[in-house]
Structure 1
Amino acid sequence: MKVQRLILVATFFYLAYTQLVNGQPRKDCKTSCGNVTIEYPFGTSPGCYYADDPSFHLTCNEKEKLLFEGDMEVINISHSGELRVWNNVSYACYNSTGDLSHEDYYPYSLGNLSLSRSNKFTLVGCNALAVLNTLGKRNHSTGCMSACDSLPVEYEDCNGEGCCRTDVSVPLGSYLYHTLQSRVPDMTSVFDFNPCVYAFVAEIGTFHFNALEDLWNLRNVSQFPVLLDWSIGNQTCEEVGNTSICGLNTICFNSSLGTGYNCKCLEGFEGNPYLSNEHGCQDIDECTTHKHNCSDPSTCRNKDGAGFYCKCQSGYRLDATTMICKRKDFEWATILLGTTIGFLSILLLICCVQQRMKRRKTTALRQKFFEQNGGGMLIQRLSGPGRSNANIQIFTEESMKTSTNGYDESRILGQGGQGTVYKGILPDNSIVAIKKARLGDNSQVEQFINEVLVLSQINHRNVVKLLGCCLETEVPLLVYEFINSGTLFDHLHGSLFGPSLTWEQRLRIAVEIAGTLAYLHSSASIPIIHRDVKTANILLDENLTAKVADFGASRLIPMDKEQLTTMVQGTLGYLDPEYYNTGLLNEKSDVYSFGVVLMELLSSQKALCFERPLQSKHLVNYIASAMKENRLHEVIDEKVINENNWKEIEEAVRVAMECTRVTGEERPLMTEVAAKLEGLRVTKTKHQWSDQYPVEVTENLVGVGILSAQGDTSSTGYDSIKNVASMHMEAGR
């Protein structure tokens, strides 16, 4: 009796083994665990999974969770050779002093399975390093490092700042992997927003970094999906031949792991390609599964394998476009309709090609203008060391045309040596000033780039604000805030702005200009010399607040230099004679120009006027002569003089005279000038400027040859190397 039982048991195991080797598991095998379907060659008991490889053995625990290798929960199984499982997150947490407080990392045994290349190894944390180690036939390590000392600006970009990720490329036969992570030593400044470092392997697309949430606690997520690659055996399809476990209506393909094979159903079949029974690859009936496009389902006929066809009854034909059965007498109409549609399609295609070529041509032209207008130079200089991160908006050519009504002449605010200024109205109804360089003047490109660079360094209430630029037009455009009350030159010498400026208004404007220049010389991130200070470059808003503008000729002075040798540039009447004669530019050149502006404010006389006597054509000589001959009251604007302010006016004149000394070393600094004028305005000081700088009236202050040019105003260029001067007429802003 015992012998018979032994024979029966042996026979049972033999049949089970034989059936399994032939690709057929036992019929009583468990097919699901919880909500996960168990697909062969995986199984939970002997005779139910592929017997040659225990890696296909799964466990269904008492909580109805399907587990791989005892502790990795299975999400689903793919016939194509992928197993999706949940993977725990490894972490290490640190206290505020940078010491490790607690950590946890998870080693996993993968059997003969491998990590798929569809995964990414990810590290979340600041100033941290994470390493992924795999062990098997060959040891393999990979990892990445992230660094940051504050909360990243780009909250959702895993680019190495607070988050890094790397590809997972694991050698064949790896069976164990674990993650290690650590904080870079002595980096505790990030503790307030990143106390822990996290490392994990996750399927691509399942984790999207968000710095605000993930650097603190990784959104309390402890697991991510991971894809594992699996295959049958260690032979290729060619080597295994007809002995593969692939069922009927299947095709064998070599595994991406480099060894073993997988099976898939032929096109038009569906099911488990590793089975040969009713659960194996069965023909898909496109007609009953509604996977056809026959307009009438009754005309659908299924094909064995992939495909179907629509069969029309006698006297009808199938319209391949609409898949509708139509009477055959409509054939000519159908041909005509098809021909028409074809012609229109060709015509539409030609139009699309032409439009595309036109867009390409326009794009190429805009790129050409971008480079021609110094776009590459601008980007390079703005991104260079020491530059500020100015928020410069880039406007399109269309928006500039629309905002200026096609650059209509009625929108022109002013014209000068550096171009034309238009009034523009943006789509949000905000009013701006748009500066357009002169066409065909290549020297304006350098000044255009220079003005952007200079204004990107300045943040001052009395400097006109640069909003953006347009580089894709034939000439470059700059977009500024709109200042609606004209220039100081207009108020002093024009008749469009009503009553003349009072003494208090003129003194306040002088204080604002002086304070701005003092800021440019000593408080900006890089010292800036304006180089073209004049009343035409001082704008006034509705409150008559001064706004210094037109920085096209300005220069940034390196910290290690006190002066630069440059091509002489400025406006006659305001140009520093020492700078004109030597080509050496320093902050005292702006001091001289400001002195001339202050004289204009006091006298309402133009800086250069050829209607005055020869020795008084220049305003500096004019006022110097008046002081020398004790007739200052004759040159000061009578509209600003009253019995209470004459001492202030005399003191302001002394300030202007000290600013316009021939020698730069004898001129005061702009900070001293600003302080002196502010003192006049607030305290009506009784101290005399001559206590520090004795007044010396000097004739011919403008230097040899400056007055030889004819015209009201001009910009002068002088090359100190070639000793050649060039004159460029300029009407002012």
Structure 2
Amino acid sequence: MVGQLLLHITLFLWSMSNALLAVASEASLAKPNCSSQCGAITQIPYPFGIGAGCYLDDWFQIICDNSASPPKAFLNRTGLEVLEISLEGTLKVTSPITFSNCKNKKSDRQVPNLYDGPFAFSQQSNRFTSIGCAVIALMTTDEGSPLGGCYSICDNITHSNTNIFPNNSCSGLRCCQTTILEGLSFFNTNFGAMLNGSDSEKECKYAFLVDHDWFMLTNISTIVDMDNVPVMLEWQLLQYSEQDIYGAYNISLQNMNCKRSDYQPDSFELCSCKKGYQGNPYLLHGCQDINECDKPDICGPGICSNLPGHFVCYKPDPRPVRRIHVGVLVAGGVIGLLFLLFGAWWSHKVIKKRKDIKRKQKFFKQNGGLLLEKQVSSGEVNVEKIKLFSSKDLDKATDNFSIDRILGQGGQGTVYKGMLSDGRIVAVKKSKIVAGGEVGQFINEIVILSQIIHRNVVKLLGCCLETEVPLLVYEFVLNGTLSQYIHHPNEEFSLTWEMRLQIAIEVAGALSYLHSAASFPIYHRDIKSSNILLDEKYRAKVADFGTSRSVSIDQTHLTTLVHGTFGYLDPEYFQSSQFTEKSDVYSFGVVLAELLTGQKPVSLMRSQESRSLATYFLLSMENNLLFDILDPQVMKDGRKEKITAVANLAVRCLNLNGRNRPTMKEVAVELEGIQLSVRADSDVQQVFPEVRCVQTQEINEVWDVVSTSTGPCTDGGTGSSLDVQPLLFFRTQ
């Protein structure tokens, strides 16, 4: 009896604590410290918002006009008045009516352009509607191509304004409707008459896109007096990454259901809270548990206990309650409570230990442990050089992965600075996502780095597979990335010409080793200045082998999905999806151009045809303008003949025909020769034989199509041309 009473008391206290937590955690659907109401709209949920920092971007910015009574909400980018916002992906706004031959009505009013934004007109909810006698109403593109339309006929009977539309019907008689295309984001409205020269051309006619549910409840005759009607928009977040929405946080999807894009795995179409939770899934901890026990009589005569995501009902004991002495009850309660607390503590400890073991086993498998075991058994991984770290060691080393310890962030994860128990400073790479392709890249990086022994390649010390996301432990490289020193020079320290040449030699030597001296040829596939680190003596170390691949000796290329970084990607690889060792050579050529010019691989400050540094560099070389684009530090320190020699080598590396590029071994040998050589000043005036002409290109920014046209080219009497210009606009996953 005492045990049952204690059980009831415990369940009551648990339910009360859950209720208090639910009340405390209840939050607005807007971002913290942001207004969530404007006039009749009582909830403006993020990603929409009012005020700076309260919305995702200006497509979702809400302007609240407090001068109106009551205040009205408008979308900033389109100027549309907002009537209703739903986290289910819909947005009700007002849309203008297009009139023709109607007194006191403007005839040039069109719907706003939603192109290239997160909004589209809802195909399911909206209907394109036209009202008038013998009218053809069309939805067209800017060029006049039809997207849809409808026509209405005239009954030639004069009606009063009250019964011109019998039964409020819109089935073709003076009123017609049609559905619209899916994903439609813009259209123009045009009119035509069915009978040329008829009086119907002079009648008032109007057309509009309208929410069908609203239209069915509205008197059609009254619409002519309106200027706008409600329209339903659909919104989604495909063009935004998780970091765009949540910031630099690791988001747990435990309480959320999110549909991801097949083409953009880092993006969501829409999210919602799971059953038993409520709130805004686009906010940190936005989905909170619903306390079902707050609902009256949800368990009838039983006792309700709220649990995360659901609840449990306990039936009362049907046996009659016997009277017990108060002292006995209190003593028994205290003793029972002590036993209960001790049992709960011991059970929690045992359960936690079992959960930790199961969780580590789950993470080991999830993080590719089985794949790594397979690689080890096949001899592909040098286990003597790879140490397995515990999560406890790395938590302590990085101060629980404190934000203050972040060294940098990339496409595959975040790198933290840490100190091991033996005093060694290390860099810990934490993967961003634990999912199929990313796990494969994680294991691939272990396999690749375990085979590499080179002073100019970042050394892998070990890994950790028992955490939620995979971890790699590298030697710590003190002085950051080459990109920082090129594009953000420090007044107290700058890269001299000799240092730049030495760094180029060291990177070329490392790539030459990967291509021709490793046990299996290795293609890096993402050579760029931000993947080249500098140690305490400013020696170069090549890093980030997540997308690298090893190939058999008799292979000449890899056929893969296109991976790389805009500005460094080999155009030949982009077109054929075949990555060769010469693709790394092209990327290295861009790095050489960066070292020479100090300019970024892609810049909107340059003209459209020269936004790519590769194109800009080749054009400058063709026009003998090398010394007009050099970095001031290079001009100050370098000898012209050596600068010219390196520039000519960069041109050869950037040749658009991969077969005409040198190998990395040849590049390394030539750079070492340039470092040691002394050339006559007259060599500076030599014409650059490698680049004789630069093709022009026209880029269709919508479809990323590149067309080329070439003029006559000569090279010592031999015609030559560059096959294709580097692509200026593309996106890789």
TM-score, L = length of structure 2:
0.48
